[in-house]
């Protein structure tokens, strides 16, 4: 799996947005088995109808702002056609080809001029073409640039868990674009720290956003050989990780999750049958708890990585005061 | 796949019911991959929640009358425990074991004393223990004993299609318990024969049943190596076969379908991973059309196999007058 | 309900595409209750996750080609913001607002230069702003411009059914963008006319499209007061209408359906509770059969309205030879 | 809403099981709007297919042990027929009637002789006929008699939340049959108390149950006027409450939830349309968080109410040592 980010921040201007790309197999469009789930569907993730039908995630998962889902989607098609022509020597368009990209979003209009439609195809190409393996950037980057989480500055966060050898040694990696939540519900390591940090609230120079508005997109990647229906099971554990940080899937929230496996390549080959491996259902529970733990931690990491930002309308959202959090946890004998 | 029938018909009495058993792997409780779909859920099929979760169908699919689902379900558990003790030498109950049988139903109270609760565990054991491979009994047998279909006598019907060698040579077999439909919608080979056979209507000595009431249960079996999500796709084609005979999933109908594959045995073994085969999504379409065609034909076969029956309240439901049907088809140059 | 079409046909060039708009409440963005279903999800309909969650369809349903879903989606947001500013006097963007448009597609690359991305926002605005009530254009118009159906020229088709006064007098209207199907399966009025018209096959100057490829989008509108879960029931009957014309939901097909009700306005008001009406479940069956019949007829109407077209690669797809069809139906004593 | 319990505990014998009944409208079989969700479907809840289709929960929700679902289901039909005859003067069976009871289960074979099939129809009638409104019994009662939760003695637990007047003043009540979880994950008020109470583990004289095995059934009742699709939203929040106590939906767990509303009576009347009220989607979020909080608290209440029990194989499961828990919470400055 590789990932890339395109970030747009321009001058005083209110442009504070971007695009995040997660590519299960890099530039290889060979599908990965996938499943998805929506805790609260006040959001968009294109391409999910085909994932549900086929079990296939083809190409990248893209995350951007709400009003740029369309431009990102069509640009991914352009990018894929170019790849097919160059990498795969598909010289002629005569091989009729269609493709249904996966693009998700969260709303960033509290800090970004979202109605200015600033994301353009070249930002998409850039995010895709500069994607690389290794550490994923966290905080105010890519689609997560203008996120707000529990009324602190949010963004992109990641975390992973590796199972023991006896459990197969598989890895579960989680990437979140965290843009949800109320201050008073923020819970870290079981302690309701949000109730104890009532300052550092955002400065809004317009109407305050609705309580609990906005969203969280979660991408779960694993190398365990899970079938599509098993990956849906994984996606359905994500809410339990969010619950541990204080989210509850508010009505105004678009909480949509996708899980994919990098195992079992070549599943879309044109031969009659394909040989696969399936992880036993009886051995899947450790992946469930790994997903929950990594989701919880990825949200916390987004909060710890993000920096104070001033954006449109001179709204300012503050970074989580980390020392304060640590003090609270100490007071409760957690650390 | 083997199947068995228990049939209860007693004297003048109103007992006209039974149990049908379809065993994907005979007495072997090794799960088969499965998927299910409900066109109109005014009915019951127990065990579907686990099928959806795990992709596993363990043990038989049972079909009986609406009020006997419970007794059949619990009896299947008794039967399975006995099998585990005898066939698998599971001598001790210390191996904590639970099992979630699949039992479906249609309502037979127009001919059977359904509120007399006449199905007993021994009928279940008998249907299971006498099941054998080979030709499946059709017409007024097993759970289909008192069925009514398009206001003619219905029952159990079966049909199958074999794909060409190029398509993999796989077989799709369909079993229906057909108990739905209005006379005027009955369509055979595209011709609305029901509109032309307005006699032979049931003699009801009580209130006439609601239009379009009752149900159809459909079991689709295949040896193609389909994964659970692919089997759900198969189950979702069943309504298209029913549509061709004139069904439409009326509100009062319990139209519930299950599809399973006998390929990929051993998927519940306790090792970490299992090797599987998957039929390519790109090669699945012939199985879709085979399912639709076999469903259509199985319903017609149920109608052609059933015989006139008199039951509770001296209600009489007549067999389809086959010559009349053939005459109509000839008049339309279909045969 | 009003509808509009934007059509792009330019010179010898290969531009043969467009946009179709169906507006449940015209320029009023007040949500309509809605439900959706996918028979075979090899396609896209954005906005469905929120429909599933909330039961709300807000604004139009748009249909275009596969590669233009994105541009149409984002343009609908622009259009909606403009409406809110002008019609509703929402002068300030301070009322943070997001919107998740519903945009569906079928692939038109056999006649249109789909990879040229020719649909632009102004085509979307035009389709929306010129929409009007009354007769809907059929055939090679809007998103349906380059459709191919059962290997004849397809396009947009519509049909409706009105229930009797006793059934409530409600209307069910269906609009299809029909782009699916194999010649040999084409069935009209129960007769397999496709098997008898083996000429008039498309002239392709490139590789022939895969059998059964492409898709059908179906929009069902009713004034019956159905709740969201009841509208999903309506959407799930659409495959039964398609089955009667010879479709079967091939693997390569994006067969996605949405049903909405124009009754129960004001359901998104900000007060605590809203008064509604619900049609009784016990009275819904006539709406099911009306949906199936109108779907079947709308596809036939698309075929009868479309005209022969030559497009990209000088591919030519022929209109259905209507006289031939009528002759066949006469020979089978259907008309 | 009223509830009842039938409990079977006999001598030294291993009979330790029962039946719990929750009746949304008492003996009135008028349906309540309902929705359901399965976090992990290794369990049974009959009747869910019709709930999904119609939005109707008719009659009680029953909870018992895994092997008694069938007997309870059929007995509920007997009970309902009797009610229709007596309460509603439905003197004749000529009014063809069918009914699809809702019966859920958890496995109690670690303390109860589950394979003895000890639950009989009279226990069902008793639970139903003695049901009354007011405080619900908690702990080792009814279907919860032999439950084990986080390796302490579990059972039935309840909790409720009332919304503020501004939020509508509605109540959310939750009943759990809690039979899931590993000791080390037990979390109370955010603190991982299970990690600190490593004694009081069950004494098993047979093989130890699989980690995380068994299940939790949750019933959510509210008087808020929610539609079926909104009640499904409620049911989908239940996992977030379980997560806060340390559950994660293990593979071997049957975690199935149903939510119903006692508002909107008379929705199954035979007239064409019914007047309803719907709570605004924009006002539903407080019900989501109330559901999560009440679920968490109901599980804790089950643990605090249950008493040490010795059952089959002389297995003993210990009650939660409450003082120890309080000490731990004090040490973490939670209380």
**Could you say which of C44, C71, C209 has the minimum Cβ distance to residue A100?**
C44
**Which residue among the candidates A253, A285, A289, A305 is catalytic per the annotation?**
A253
A331 touches chain D (CB under 8 A): yes
Which chain D residues have a beta carbon less than 8 Å from that of A190?
187, 190-192
Does any domain span residue B10?
no
Q: Quick one: DSSP state of residue B184? A: G
**Taking 60 as the threshold, does the pLDDT of residue B273 lie above it?**
yes
pLDDT band at residue C90 under the 50/70/90 scheme: low
Burial class (CB in 10 A: 0-12, 13-18, 19+), A316: middle
* A214 tagged catalytic: no
Chain D residues 43-102 with a CB less than 8 Å from chain C: 52-56
What pLDDT does residue C295 have? 98
| Disruptive mutation site among D239, D245, D291 for chain A (greatest number of A CBs within 10 Å) | D239
Mean pLDDT of A7-31: 86
Chain A residues 101-140 with a CB less than 8 Å from chain C: 103, 107, 109-110, 115, 117
Query: Touching B: which chains, 3+ CB pairs < 8 A?
Result: A, C, D
Structural domain including D116 reads: 15-331
> What separation, in Å, do the N-terminal and C-terminal C-alpha atoms of chain C show?
33
Does any domain span residue B234?
yes
**For residue B331, how far is the Cα from the chain centroid?**
33
Chains B–C, number of C-beta pairs less than 8 Å apart: 83
Mean pLDDT of C212-230: 93
Of the listed ranges B42-46, B153-157, C213-217, the one predicted with least confidence: C213-217
pLDDT band at residue D134 under the 50/70/90 scheme: confident
Q: Give every CB contact of residue D172 below 8 A, 6+ residues apart in sequence.
A: D160, D161, D162, D163, D220, D221, D222, D224, D234, D287, D290, D291, D294
| Spatial contact of C144 and C155, defined as CB atoms under 8 Å apart | yes
Mean pLDDT of A76-93: 80
Chain C residues 203-232 with a CB less than 8 Å from chain D: 225, 227-230
Pull the structure tokens for residue A105.
């979003």
Q: List active site positions of B.
A: 215, 253, 255
Mean pLDDT of D136-154: 95
Q: How many CB atoms lie within 10 A of CB B169?
A: 12
C37 touches chain D (CB under 8 A): no
Q: Is B259 in a helix, a strand, or coil?
A: strand
Q: Is D261 in a helix, a strand, or coil?
A: strand
**Taking 70 as the threshold, does the pLDDT of residue C327 lie above it?**
yes
pLDDT, greater one: B304 or C14: B304
| Disruptive mutation site among C98, C111, C255 for chain A (greatest number of A CBs within 10 Å) | C98
Domain CATH for B223: 3.60.70.12
Q: Give every CB contact of residue A267 below 8 A, 6+ residues apart in sequence.
A: A30, A31, A33, A56, A274, A276, B278
pLDDT band at residue B9 under the 50/70/90 scheme: confident
Q: Are the Cβ atoms of A278 and B276 closer than 8 angstroms?
A: yes
Mean pLDDT of C95-106: 90
Beta partners for A18? A7
pLDDT band at residue C96 under the 50/70/90 scheme: confident
Q: How far is B255 from chain A (nearest CA, A)?
A: 21
Q: How many CB atoms lie within 10 A of CB D58?
A: 22
Pull the structure tokens for residue B312.
């509770």
Q: Are the Cβ atoms of C53 and A69 closer than 8 angstroms?
A: no
Q: What is the mean pLDDT of chain A?
A: 93
pLDDT band at residue A94 under the 50/70/90 scheme: very low
Which chain B residues have a beta carbon less than 8 Å from that of D71?
70-71, 74
Find, among A55, A267, A264, the residue nearest to B274 by Cα.
A264
C277 touches chain B (CB under 8 A): no
Does any domain span residue D9?
no
pLDDT band at residue B60 under the 50/70/90 scheme: very high
pLDDT, greater one: A4 or C178: C178
| Disruptive mutation site among B34, B47, B53, B57 for chain D (greatest number of D CBs within 10 Å) | B53
Q: Which single residue is written with the structure tokens 């008998």?
A: B126
Residues in chain D: 335
**Taking 60 as the threshold, does the pLDDT of residue C204 lie above it?**
yes
Measured in degrees and rounded to the nearest 5, phi and psi for residue D194 equal: -60, -35
| Closest-CA residue of chain C to A254 | C50
d(CA C242, CA C186): 10
| Spatial contact of C320 and C196, defined as CB atoms under 8 Å apart | no
Looking only at the bridges linking them, the beta strands covering A152-153 and A155-162 are: unpaired
What pLDDT does residue A186 have? 98
E-strand ranges in A171-279 read 171-179, 215-222, 254-261, 273-279
| Spatial contact of D165 and D130, defined as CB atoms under 8 Å apart | no
Q: How many CB atoms lie within 10 A of CB B44?
A: 27
What pLDDT does residue D306 have? 97
| Spatial contact of D163 and D290, defined as CB atoms under 8 Å apart | yes
D315 touches chain B (CB under 8 A): no
Mean pLDDT of D58-78: 97
Mean pLDDT of C107-129: 94
D190 touches chain A (CB under 8 A): yes
Q: Is B47 in a helix, a strand, or coil?
A: coil
Q: Is A197 in a helix, a strand, or coil?
A: coil
User: B58 vs B6, B102, B228, CA distance in Å?
Assistant: 21, 8, 13
Q: How many domains does chain B have?
A: 1
d(CA A117, CA D87): 64
pLDDT band at residue A89 under the 50/70/90 scheme: low
**Taking 70 as the threshold, does the pLDDT of residue D91 lie above it?**
no
% of chain A residues with pLDDT over 70: 95
C236-256 residue pLDDT tens: 999 999 999 999 999 999 999
What pLDDT does residue B185 have? 97
Does any domain span residue B268?
yes
Q: Quick one: DSSP state of residue B121? A: H
Q: Give every CB contact of residue A88 below 8 A, 6+ residues apart in sequence.
A: none
Q: Are the Cβ atoms of B38 and D53 closer than 8 angstroms?
A: yes
> What separation, in Å, do the N-terminal and C-terminal C-alpha atoms of chain A show?
33
A150-159 residue pLDDT tens: 999 999 999 9
Q: Are the Cβ atoms of B240 and C233 closer than 8 angstroms?
A: no
Evaluated on CA atoms D306, D311, D312, D317, the torsion sign reads: positive
**Could you say which of C69, C74, C209 has the minimum Cβ distance to residue A67?**
C74
D163 touches chain C (CB under 8 A): no
C20-46 residue pLDDT tens: 999 999 999 999 999 999 999 999 999
Q: Which single residue is written with the structure tokens 């300052």?
A: A199
Mean pLDDT of A221-231: 98
d(CA D98, CA D78): 11
Does any domain span residue A105?
yes
**Could you say which of A229, A273, A281 has the minimum Cβ distance to residue B229?**
A229
Q: What's the pTM?
A: 0.96
**Taking 90 as the threshold, does the pLDDT of residue B90 lie above it?**
no
Q: Give every CB contact of residue C117 below 8 A, 6+ residues apart in sequence.
A: A74, A78, C67, C68, C71
D285 touches chain A (CB under 8 A): yes
ipTM topping 0.90: yes
* C255 tagged catalytic: yes
Find, among C308, C272, C291, C281, the residue nearest to C226 by Cα.
C281
Does any domain span residue D212?
yes
Angle D284-D289-D293 from CA coordinates, rounded to 5°: 145
Pull the structure tokens for residue B135.
């030709």
Does any domain span residue B322?
yes
| Closest-CA residue of chain A to C75 | A70
Does any domain span residue C2?
no
Which chain C residues have a beta carbon less than 8 Å from that of B193?
none
Find, among B226, B262, B245, B224, the residue nearest to B299 by Cα.
B245
What pLDDT does residue C94 have? 47
């Amino acid at each position: 799996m590789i990932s890339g980010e395109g970030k747009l921040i321009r001058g005083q201007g209110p442009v504070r947005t971007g695009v995040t790309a997660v590519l299960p197999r890099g530039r290889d469009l060979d599908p990965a088995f996938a499943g998805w789930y929506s805790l609260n569907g006040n959001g968009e993730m294109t391409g999910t109808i085909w994932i549900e039908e086929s079990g296939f995630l083809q190409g990248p998962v893209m995350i951007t702002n709400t009003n740029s889902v369309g431009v990102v989607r069509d640009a991914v098609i352009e990018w894929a056609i170019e790849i097919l022509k160059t990498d795969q020597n598909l010289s002629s368009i005569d091989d009729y080809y269609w493709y249904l990209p996966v693009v998700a979003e969260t709303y960033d209009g509290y800090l970004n001029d979202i109605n200015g439609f600033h994301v353009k195809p070249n930002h998409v190409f850039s995010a895709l073409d500069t994607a690389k393996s290794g550490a994923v950037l966290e905080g105010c980057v890519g689609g997560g640039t203008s996120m707000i989480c529990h009324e602190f500055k949010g963004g992109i966060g990641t975390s992973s868990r590796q199972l023991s050898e006896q459990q197969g040694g598989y890895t579960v990696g989680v990437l979140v674009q965290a843009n949800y939540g109320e201050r008073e519900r923020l819970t870290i390591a079981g302690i309701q720290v949000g109730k104890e940090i009532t300052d550092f609230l955002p400065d809004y120079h317009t109407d305050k956003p609705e309580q609990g508005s906005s969203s969280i997109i979660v991408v779960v990647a694993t190398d365990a050989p899970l079938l599509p229906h098993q990956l849906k099971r994984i996606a359905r554990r994500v809410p339990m990780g969010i619950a541990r940080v204080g989210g509850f899937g508010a009505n105004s929230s678009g909480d949509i999750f996708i899980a994919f496996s990098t195992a079992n390549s070549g599943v879309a080959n044109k031969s009659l049958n394909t040989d696969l491996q399936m992880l036993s259902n009886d051995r899947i529970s450790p992946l469930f708890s790994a997903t929950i733990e990594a989701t919880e931690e990825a949200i916390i990491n987004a909060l710890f990585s993000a920096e104070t930002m001033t954006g449109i309308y001179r709204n300012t959202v503050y970074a989580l005061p980390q020392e304060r959090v640590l003090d609270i946890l100490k007071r409760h004998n957690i650390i």
